[in-house]
Amino acid sequence: MSYEVVFDIETQNSFAEVENDFKKLRVSVISLYRSDTDSYHSFVEDELSQVWPIFEKADRVIGFNSEHFDLPVLNNYYLGNLLQLPHLDMLKKVKDSLGIRIKLAVLAEATLDNVTKSADGLQAIRWWREGKIDEIKKYCEQDVRVTKELYDFGRKNKQLFYKNLTGEVLPFAVDFGSPNDTLTASGEAAQKNINFTLPF
């Protein structure tokens, strides 16, 4: 049975604060869904070492804008290069289909019933500074739930929905492939069984 991980991160600071330097972005929380256990988990920055074995064992990791944000930020902490893992960036597939980037919240509102984002990244940064870690975890896990629901819908129906400028809800085709489509973020064949943190 295939094992996939859907994930999302929140950061302690914003791009504006670090002058668009990925190396200076720090993780506050990472949340993920594991298909092998059908469960959600959240980790704070000093627990990231617990995440790497989960990623390394996965047949595919799945995110939304993960190629251009989440994985590069996580690479600040990882011994290897997470972009070499089997990976699906759903936003990349949306842009390939529509020619434009669409926010996760917009896709969720148009596609899913009663599944929405609960806050935004700037609010999560404020919560970090206020020490409200549990609030960040709840928000990040909700984003993972939304991402997973969109992924499941797209895999099953080969389409998602969005609202155009006039507010009309329209379908568009997506191809999320299968867990056996082991491509990296760069579109190359993924290196299976990457092992930087597991015992040899």
Determine, yes or no, domain membership for 183: no
Q: What are phi and psi of 121, to 5 degrees?
A: -60, -35
Determine, yes or no, domain membership for 200: no
Structural domain including 144 reads 4-173
Determine, yes or no, domain membership for 85: yes
State whether residue 144 is helix, strand or coil. helix
Determine, yes or no, domain membership for 190: no
Determine, yes or no, domain membership for 66: yes
Burial of 121 (0-12, 13-18, 19+ CB in 10 A): middle
Determine, yes or no, domain membership for 199: no
The CATH number assigned to the domain holding 68 equals: 3.30.420.10
Cα–Cα distances in angstroms (integers) from residue 48 to residues 75, 135, 136, 156, in the given order: 11, 18, 16, 32
**Residue-wise pLDDT tens for the chain (200 aa)?**
689 999 999 999 887 777 778 888 999 999 999 999 999 999 999 999 999 999 999 999 999 999 999 999 999 999 999 999 999 999 999 999 999 999 999 999 999 987 666 566 778 889 999 999 999 999 999 999 999 999 999 999 999 999 988 989 999 999 998 776 655 555 565 555 555 554 43
Determine, yes or no, domain membership for 191: no
| Residues with Cβ within 8 Å of residue 79, at least 6 apart in sequence | 52, 196, 197
Which DSSP letter does residue 114 get?
A: S
Predicted model pTM: 0.88
- Name the β-bridge partners of 30: 9, 43
List the alpha helices (DSSP H) in the chain.
51-57, 71-74, 90-98, 104-111, 121-129, 133-157
Determine, yes or no, domain membership for 187: no
Strand order in the sheet with 39-44: 39-44, 27-34, 4-11, 60-63, 87-89
Q: Domain count of the chain?
A: 1
